[in-house]
Amino acid sequence: MNCKDTLKMAALLAVVCTGNGCSQGLLQDNTSEGVIEYALSFPEYDPNGIMAGMLPESTTLTFSKGRELAELSAGMGVFRTSIITDNVRREMSYHLSVLNKKIVSHLQQRDMPTFNKEEPPLTLLYTDEIDTIAGYPCKKAIAIFGSMDMPEIDLYYTDRIALDDPNWYGPFSEVPGVLLRYEMVQYGMRMRLEAMTVRPGPVDGSKFDERGGFAQVSPETLHAELEQVLSTFSL
């Protein structure tokens, strides 16, 4: 291939990647800021069931400098969560909106067992398998639960997103990377998340500011509220 052909090929690659909105993950060593959009599905729910239209179809994770913002809306906007996490301080502000009720709970690492009650603890098996998700190379791990009625879960994570200790607050705290395809069970609901796009770029620091107009409650009260609200989706 001569120099002219090489330039044409480079230009074509640039057009393809910018024109179809594909992730730049494979074209750079690390991503330190940006937004991940996950497709969200519920394997155990009937897609034609009465509650299907109330379930969320996507969720986003905004990240920058050791901080995360996870946002989700369900029930046609009736139920909303906004979770701000500081991975360096290991602190979380969990905002919950249900109709006119707005509450927030400020959580520390010691509060996480209230929301992650897996007994006995799960076991993680790391494999040599690799897949590409949203343009990022991901390693595979398998989560095996102590409970016999819980099937194992495949986890895919990447080390190409520069976010320190991104899983400290969840059931897969030992996984050494950002999860891009995984499942989790909360309040009896089995959820599957898969990253569809990763959009690298600067993030406005104000996104991680505390929200106004929320009444502060204890972690136990937040847990009870979530349990009550999410139980309605099991009808």
The whole-number pLDDT of residue 121 equals 75
The whole-number pLDDT of residue 233 equals 62
At 188-222, the pLDDT tens digits run 778 999 999 999 999 999 999 999 999 999 999 99
Q: Please check whether residue 219 lies inside any domain of the structure.
A: yes
Q: Does the pLDDT of residue 12 top 60, yes or no?
A: no
Name the domain count of the chain.
1
Q: Please check whether residue 7 lies inside any domain of the structure.
A: no
Residue 201 · residue 33 · CB < 8 Å: yes
Q: Please check whether residue 16 lies inside any domain of the structure.
A: no
The whole-number pLDDT of residue 156 equals 98
165: tokens are 């200790």
Residue range 77-93: mean pLDDT, rounded: 93
Identify which has the larger pLDDT, 57 or 36.
Answer: 36
Q: Which residues pair with 63 in a beta bridge?
A: 34, 68
Q: Does the pLDDT of residue 7 top 60, yes or no?
A: no
Residue 195's Cβ-count burial label (10 Å; 0-12, 13-18, 19+) is: buried
Confidence band for 5, pLDDT divided at 50, 70 and 90: very low
Q: Please check whether residue 1 lies inside any domain of the structure.
A: no
List, in order, residues 6 or more apart from 101 with CB less than 8 Å away.
none
User: Could you give phi then psi for residue 14, rounded to 5 degrees?
Assistant: -65, -40
Which SS3 state, helix, strand or coil, does residue 213 take? coil
**One-letter amino acid of 215:** A
CATH number for the domain harbouring residue 199: 2.50.20.10
Q: Please check whether residue 3 lies inside any domain of the structure.
A: no
Q: Does the pLDDT of residue 51 top 90, yes or no?
A: no
Instruction: Tell me how far apart the alpha carbons of residues 82 and 60 are, in angstroms, rounded to a whole number.
Output: 10
Domain hosting residue 64, numbered range: 25-234
Q: Please check whether residue 19 lies inside any domain of the structure.
A: no
At 89-110, the pLDDT tens digits run 999 999 999 988 999 999 999 9
The whole-number pLDDT of residue 50 equals 63
Instruction: Tell me how far apart the alpha carbons of residues 1 and 54 are, in angstroms, rounded to a whole number.
Output: 55
- DSSP per-residue codes, 177-208: SEEEEEEEEETTEEEEEEEEEEEES---GGGG
Q: What is the pTM of this model?
A: 0.83
Residue range 160-174: mean pLDDT, rounded: 92
Confidence band for 56, pLDDT divided at 50, 70 and 90: confident
Q: Please check whether residue 205 lies inside any domain of the structure.
A: yes
Instruction: Tell me how far apart the alpha carbons of residues 209 and 123 are, in angstroms, rounded to a whole number.
Output: 35
Q: Please check whether residue 76 lies inside any domain of the structure.
A: yes
Instruction: Tell me how far apart the alpha carbons of residues 142 and 140 are, in angstroms, rounded to a whole number.
Output: 7
Q: Does the pLDDT of residue 39 top 90, yes or no?
A: yes
The DSSP bridge pattern shows strands 189-200 and 123-133 to be unpaired
At 112-121, the pLDDT tens digits run 988 876 556 7
- DSSP per-residue codes, 9-31: HHHHHHHHHHHTT---GGGSS-B
Instruction: Tell me how far apart the alpha carbons of residues 3 and 30 are, in angstroms, rounded to a whole number.
Output: 29
